[in-house]
Structure formats: C-alpha cells, structure tokens
Copies of this chain bind each other. A is one copy, B any other.
Amino acid sequence: MQRRDLLKSATFAVAAQALGTIATSAQPSAAQTPTSKRLGKIALEEHFMVPEFVPYFEETYPNISPEIAKLGLAALLDLGDHRIEVMDQNGVDYSVLSLSGPGVQIEKDTAVAVKRAKWVNDFLSKEIQKRPTRFGGLAHLAMQNPAEAASELERCIRGLGFQGAMINGQTNGEYLDLDKFSVFWERAAALEAPIYIHPGNPVDHPAMYADHPELWGPVCSWAFETGTHALRLVFAGVFERYPKARVILGHMGETLPLNLWRFDSRWPISHRGSMTLAEPPSFYIKRNIAITTSGVCSDISLRCALDSMGAENVMFSIDYPFEKTPVAAAFIENARITETERQQVASGNAKRILKITRPIGPSA
C-alpha cells in the first residue's frame, strides 16, 4: 500500500477519533506540575504503525469512518520529533512501543506471519537505537507457531534489548492457555519477560453484543474478552506451572480487580472438571499479573486497583495515540494516592517488571 493511499484510508479513524485532534495532544496539561516537581513517567501501552501492517488493522476494525484518518495515521506512523514532543511536554521519560494490533496474529500463512513479525521487530529495534533513552519495545510475535514465537521472544529480549512482548488476544481462535503454548510460557518465564495481553476481537460475535456496535471494542467487549483470556490462564494453571510467567493487562486490569473475592469464592464450587489449583485464583492474579492505567483515568478505579492487585503491580500507561497524553499525565500527577504509590505507578514498578536499567529521559 502506498503512503498516499494510506492517508486516504479509513483505517486510522479509530485512532484519530480517539485522539481528538493530534494538534492538541502535545499541549501541556492544565494541571501540569512545575518543573521542580516533575514526575518522570514510563508508559508501556504506546502504539506505532508501519504502512506494511495496515491491512491487518483494517481487516479487524472495518467500517471506520474515514474523515479524520489522516491525523491518527500521522500519530501512529511518527516515531520522531512529534512523539518526543508530546512525551516531553507531559513528563513521559520513556515509552515502551508496540505495534498497533492485531498484526500478523490474523495472518493466514504462518510462514509469512513468522517472517513479518521478525521484520517489524527489527524495524522497531532500529527506531529504538535512534533514541535509546526514550524508547523501549515490546516484541510482535507470530503465535501461530508457539515454538517459533518463543525463539523470537528470546531474540527480541536478549538480542534486541526489548522489554517484553504484546499479544493481541486470541490467534485463530486459540487462547494462550492451550497446551500448545506451554513452550512459549516456559521461555517467557525463563526470560522473565512480561507478556502484555492487549485486547483483540474474538472469532465469534457473542449474542449479548448484537445490534449494539458501540459495545464492540473499547466500551465493553474488549475488557470482557481480555479479562476472560487472563482468567483462562489462571484456571488452566499456567501460572502454577510457570511461577515466573508474567502477564500485563491494560485498562486498569480489564475488570478483574473488582472481583478477586468472587473468583476465590466461586472457583472452589465451579464446574471445573479435573482442573485444580494449589492456591486461590487471587494468589496467581496478584503474583503473575500486573496491570496498567491505560484508558482509565479515574482516581476511584486506581484506588481499587492498587488495593486489590497490590501497589507493586500497577503501572502508568497512556495508550497513545488512542488516548490523550495530557489527560493521562495530569491524572497520575494529581491522583489521590500516596507519593510512594505515585512513584511506583509512574515509573518504579515498570523499571522492575520490565527490567529497565538503562538511563532514560530527556536529560539522560
């Protein structure tokens, strides 16, 4: 696809609609803190796009109105000065970048998926090398071939210096709790590489969403789909078998933090066949799942997440460019939490979980 065609594409309207206008996204927040009190932030659900991967995006998110596609496209394609300017004006020291989904996860040809995943990881690596104090990366993986995905994860972590991987929900209808993915979890655990499970659409269209297109996506279905995906991992015993496996969920935990008590209460009496767990579900959720604040700038929800998941498991993120950086930055700068919690959420937990040890930030 030519860049000219891309600019006319309907694809990026989702991004652009969410952005409002990209022109304002670099503005300082109303509640911006003085430089002397600057809160350095790491953000880790921050997306980019390359023209070669637009058709995957378009196949999954059709029926997008085209009018403001150009603005969203510009934000996603930009890995340079504008993105850095938005970060600087909002105190974001470091953005861990990931390809906007679903990417090769919907590629029918596994060999092509494997090849293109490597290609986009190499592309991202080169971009990171240009600005190593500002950008990190999450690997894009062809989950059609779990062993190959495990190898590519290792290459990205050990060879390219990435911080983890992002997987966009199910792959060909298969969720990550299936036995075939054990080879992947074993490697991820050995590498201590966190796996960000980002929302994707399921292969079916559940009846509860019928005739309600507004529920299909970030308003509702993505949270339920992704929260369920995480619970599948818990109940299938993935975290029991691989205690060092770590999943990251965005959007304040995809509804899970509110219901830990209920999971623990109902699991022992559920119709679980031969499934067993040595510990209550909440044990694995709190040990093996971390969450980000992407897309939920609410003090109330943050308080619930901190208390439910543990303050060491909650990390700031923006979901750029689908969410507004100034809004997210002002939220974490002014949230009614302790200063210790603010430091943990803004950067401390991300440094530990994503093993960010290099100097970061505009003055690094």
Q: A interface vs B, CB < 8 Å?
A: 14, 17-18, 63-64, 170, 173, 175, 177, 202-204, 206-209, 212-220, 223-225, 227-229, 231-232, 235-236, 251-253, 255, 257-263, 265-267, 269-273, 275, 295-298, 300-301, 303-304, 307-308, 323
Contact = CB atoms under 8 A, between A and B. Distances in A.
B262 A258 contact: no
A238 B256 CA distance: 28
B219 A224 contact: no
Given A204-B206, A257-B258, A258-B252, A213 B304 contact: no
Given A204-B207, A206-B206, A271-B213, A219 B266 contact: yes
A59 to B, nearest CB: 16
A208 to B, nearest CB: 4
Contacts of A298: 260-262, 308
B213 A273 contact: yes
A263 B300 contact: no
B231 A219 contact: yes
The count of identical subunits is 2
B203 A225 contact: no
A301 B301 contact: no
B262 A235 contact: no
A316 to B, nearest CB: 15
Given A208-B225, A261-B298, 4 more contacts: A173-B207, A219-B262, A251-B259, A258-B258
Contact of A202 (B208, B236, B270): B208
22 contacts: A18-B266, A175-B208, A204-B207, A214-B267, A214-B275, A215-B232, A219-B263, A220-B231, A251-B262, A253-B258, A255-B259, A257-B258, A257-B300, A258-B258, A260-B301, A262-B298, A265-B295, A265-B297, A266-B295, A298-B308, A301-B304, A303-B304
A36 B297 CA distance: 43
B214 A220 contact: no
A260 B258 CA distance: 13
Pairs A-B, 3 closest by C-beta atoms: A304-B304, A261-B298, A214-B272
Contacts of A307: 300, 303
The A interface, classified by DSSP as helix, strand, loop or mixed, is helix
Given A202-B208, A208-B175, A220-B228, A262 B215 contact: no
Contacts of A228: 208-209, 215, 220, 224
Nearest to A225: B208
Given A212-B232, A215-B231, A220-B231, A303 B301 contact: no
A173 B208 CA distance: 9
Task: Among A14, A232, A251, A252, find the residue whose CB has the most chain B CB atoms closer than 10 A.
Answer: A232
B214 A259 contact: no
A338 to B, nearest CB: 16
Contacts of A63: 271
Contacts of A257: 258, 300
Task: Among A213, A231, A297, A304, find the residue whose CB has the most chain B CB atoms closer than 10 A.
Answer: A304
A295 B262 CA distance: 6
A261 B275 CA distance: 36
A62 to B, nearest CB: 10
Nearest to A304: B304
A235 B215 contact: yes
B304 A300 contact: yes
B17 A269 contact: yes
